[in-house]
Structure 1
Amino acid sequence: MNFLPEHINEYAAEHSQPEPELLAELFKETWQKALVPRMISGHFQGRVLSMISKLVAPKTILEIGTYTGYSALCLAEGMIKEGVLHTIDHNEELYDFQRKYFDRSDYGEQIFQHAGEALDILPEIEGPFDLVFIDADKANYSNYFNEIIEKMNPGGVILSDNVLWSGKVTEPPKLKDDDTKALIEYNKLINQDERVETVLLPIRDGLTISRVK
């Protein structure tokens, strides 16, 4: 979901760097073959992720929620030469789809895939992390944060996607809407936790940038 008028979104995208051809191909194939293709980051948000990664120049990146691999490749653009990226997704059926594009990129040997539940896998991945992107099941955002915060380098950055949740976080959640409830609590957590400083950007469905002190 976008919160700005469509012509403003189009203008912003047109006046941002174009996505690399490999990512354009990945985007197209995702819309042709994957379930719920709107989950993909896409051109504009992808360029935002790439820019943030380039500013951080991370040695170790962690992504929670790979989907088809678009965002991982965007984040990888900012890695230092000897950097590594760990990406986790519970959907094992997408593993080969992701790998195909990872191996065609310049970062194939630096990207490590993990299939399964993130809370089971996270303790097995050694930090410290310079950049983390959280974009998996919303109910566990706070659990992911609590799992990774002690593994972050000072000055490291945690990115959290979908934190506006189609605007539902601004309204009283419905009784059985556990995702909205979880995101409301998560947004409070990362805004009040003294270990990070946070700004929430209304990019697409909301993107939070949290810098570790």
Structure 2
Amino acid sequence: MSFFEEKCPEMDRYLENHTSSEPEILKRLRKETFQKTTQPHMLSGSLQGRFLAILSKMSNPTNILEIGTFTGYATLCLAEGLAKEGKITTLDVNEELAYLPRKYFLESKFSNQIDFQLKDAKVFLKETGEVFDFVFIDADKENYVEYFKLIKARIKSGAVIIFDNVLWYGKVLEENSKQKSTLIIQELNEMVSKDEDFENLILPLRDGLHLIQKK
């Protein structure tokens, strides 16, 4: 649950009630995530999921990179917009939970387009020669700045980048914070807003999405 949902849960319910419903496979994945994980709030959820799906469909990307798979909910949402011959590479380091996204990836109609790797994202970005046209990051916040720096060399003009949790439950408003994750997110938001190679917008959806496009 986000900072904003806690302040106005009625508005969150209104938004969900007036947004396209999630596909059946995502309903089952969301239910199983709440049943079998200790931090189900990490799930993107139906509202954010529909946003990711629509944005992906508008972009029609051929090569998506996702950093932070969790149970694969956002992965499947992003895959909805893939070009016919496109693919999504999704990275995570949680071996114990890997069985859950794998189960739903295999069941989905995008099974042949999803490349799920248990690999450190920083290592992957330093080794890969691939160029991406859509990137979604919802992983360890303390590496957000490093991810942005590494991703810059791996995207083309017009590419979309989205960072999740960039309002950090309202903590980004704190001055002189001593929490490392808060400081890193503040640094990321400041860095992106001043980078002339990009256009950006922070959306107050759930815990904040930083929408960035390379010029």
| Smaller-chain TM-score bracket | over 0.9
TM-score, with structure 1 as normaliser: 0.96
Q: 2: distance between equivalents of 1:113 and 1:145?
A: 21
Identify the residue that residue 33 of structure 2 maps to in structure 1.
30
SS at match of 1:181: helix
44-53 vs 111-120, which moves further: 111-120
Amino acid across the alignment from 2:183: K
2:21 to 18, 21, 25: 18
Answer yes or no: is 1:197 the counterpart of 2:199: yes
Task: Render the CA deviation track for 1:104-141: whole Å, top value 9, x for unaligned.
Answer: 11111111111132111222333211100011111111
SS at match of 1:17: coil
Give runs of aligned pairs for residues 35-50 of structure 1, distance below 5 A: 35-50=38-53
Q: Shift in Å at residue 149 of structure 1?
A: 1.0
Does the 8 Å contact 1:92/1:116 carry over to 2? Answer: no
Identify the residue that residue 209 of structure 2 maps to in structure 1.
207
SS at match of 2:70: coil
Give 5+ residue unaligned stretches, structure 2.
none
Q: Shift in Å at residue 2 of structure 1?
A: 4.2
TM-score, with structure 2 as normaliser: 0.96
Task: Render the CA deviation track for 1:133-186: whole Å, top value 9, x for unaligned.
Answer: 0111111111101111121111110001000000000112432x1000000000
**RMSD over aligned Cα atoms:** 1.1
Q: Shift in Å at residue 93 of structure 1?
A: 1.4
Amino acid across the alignment from 1:189: M
SS at match of 1:93: coil
Give runs of aligned pairs for residues 1-213 of structure 1, distance below 5 A: 1-3=2-4, 5-175=8-178, 177-213=179-215
Q: 1: distance between equivalents of 2:97 and 2:176?
A: 32
Q: Shift in Å at residue 9 of structure 1?
A: 1.2
SS at match of 1:82: coil
Does the 8 Å contact 1:89/1:117 carry over to 2? Answer: yes
67-76 vs 148-157, which moves further: 148-157
Amino acid across the alignment from 1:179: S
Amino acid across the alignment from 2:201: V
Gap change, CA 1:105 and 1:167, over 3 Å in 2? same
SS at match of 1:194: coil
Q: 1: distance between equivalents of 2:112 and 2:147?
A: 26
SS at match of 2:130: coil
Does the 8 Å contact 1:23/1:70 carry over to 2? Answer: yes
Does the 8 Å contact 2:3/2:170 carry over to 1? Answer: no
Identity %: 46
Give 5+ residue unaligned stretches, structure 1.
none
Q: 2: distance between equivalents of 1:124 and 1:100?
A: 28
Q: 2: distance between equivalents of 1:183 and 1:67?
A: 20
Q: 1: distance between equivalents of 2:100 and 2:14?
A: 31
SS at match of 1:209: strand
Does the 8 Å contact 1:26/1:101 carry over to 2? Answer: yes
